[in-house]
Structure 1
Amino acid sequence: MKQSWFTIEENKPLTSSVYRMVLSGDTSAITASGQFVNIKLDGFFLRRPISVCDYNDSTLTILYKVVGKGTEKMATLLPADKLDILTGLGNGYDTAKSGNTPVLIGGGVGVPPMFRLAKNLVAEGKSPIVVLGFQTAAEVFYKEEFEALGVDVHIATADGSVGVKGFVTDVVKSLSAYTYFYTCGPEPMLRALSDCTTTSGQLSFEERMGCGFGACMGCSCKTKYGNKRICKDGPVLEKEEIIW
């Protein structure tokens, strides 16, 4: 974990509620896709945990959805504004277990970490399949960015306005073969995927956090190996260890 000041380079809406923020700063503590950052906002006691979408040596990209006062505040920030950010939080996805054709499944705000994971897998010579789930066509984001990586992208919408009508599980059940799965999204989606997938996999949990680095025990969950803290021991857990 590292505390640093970042400067906002871009903060633009992708949909009516989802924004992309690009920041410049020290990203050296970020070591894997699936990690998150914790952002301090003026006027708010708790930091806001946001998953990492992408990064390089000097920039960090996050995608966030406006759902409360904190993210409403984030949406008003402008280029050149500075933010106090904790980076390198949580564990990330282990790509060594992927096999050649893993499936990556993101639901809503669980989509962002799938992007960097897809980039890493492609760089390793793998051929990932990407499944993205949204409520409607108006909520779809980052489809073109995934396609630009050269990966096979499937979209599911609950109302059928684009792609497969239904949920990400409907798409996954239709896939002929995959070697492993990675996912991030709301807990009901994660549980449904754990039940319907035919391989092992890694699941990243979205959880309300207090401190974000394991001190307060506010985000603990039960596993076969005892209680684990989503912020410190997660957010990525393996399918076989989860007690639903």
Structure 2
Amino acid sequence: MESAQHHVADRGQSASILSPAFAGEHAWCSEKMVLSTELSDGVPLPRFFGDGGFRQAIDRYAEACGDSDRRAVVSMWSLYYFSTLSIPYVLARRLAAQALPIAFDEMTIALQENGLPRAFGVPHRGGHAAVEEDDGFGAIGPLLEQHLPEAVAKLNACGISAKLCWNNAAVYLDYALRLTRPAEGPDLTVFVRGCLPDGGVNPLCGSVRYVEEDGERVARRKICCLRYMLPGVPSCGKPCALPSQRNVQ
């Protein structure tokens, strides 16, 4: 965290940098999550999903994919959504002790030309988050409480299962958690515990499991993301839930 803060200071504390964690190897996050006031083409998420903007985005991406199976199109779209949302949030929380505002109803979204998510806008820089040793739930709790259930419900209404949506979210949560705790190994608890800390059902349970393969520890999905149905999209390799797709180039 110290080096990240120093890097931002060297750049003059640019207002465009939402978090001191978005620096160095994580600088790409500064283009994925910004203040809503700086995302000129951002649309409030409730309006985006409520007035046809989402379906138009899927139509544009489906056209770019050669009108492939729509389930695969929506699933791939959601992978961009969840990665753009989850990775910057977890990095800011764990590397900069910063709790970014993540409530679904308060955020905006901007798209690429092909309809895929490009960036999210947040209303403010959030506040301080205590840095504690946790099992992963502490870092992703606000996402589970304030954003992901609503996003999954919107995606589910467009034709893909909620379980697939949660699995797509899980792979990026797992990546971000491991990225920020490399010395302590993966945060398995969030994927093996059936209950959330508040006693509710954990929708991430079983979505990612760790296997040893060719001397490598692999985080493997439970449900395939269907990317193999899309032309020109590479296989995710060893993490794939389908054995037949793990070695496809």
Using the size of structure 2 for normalisation, the TM-score is 0.29
Larger proportion of strand: 1
Q: Higher Cα Rg: structure 1 or 2? A: 2
Using the size of structure 1 for normalisation, the TM-score is 0.30
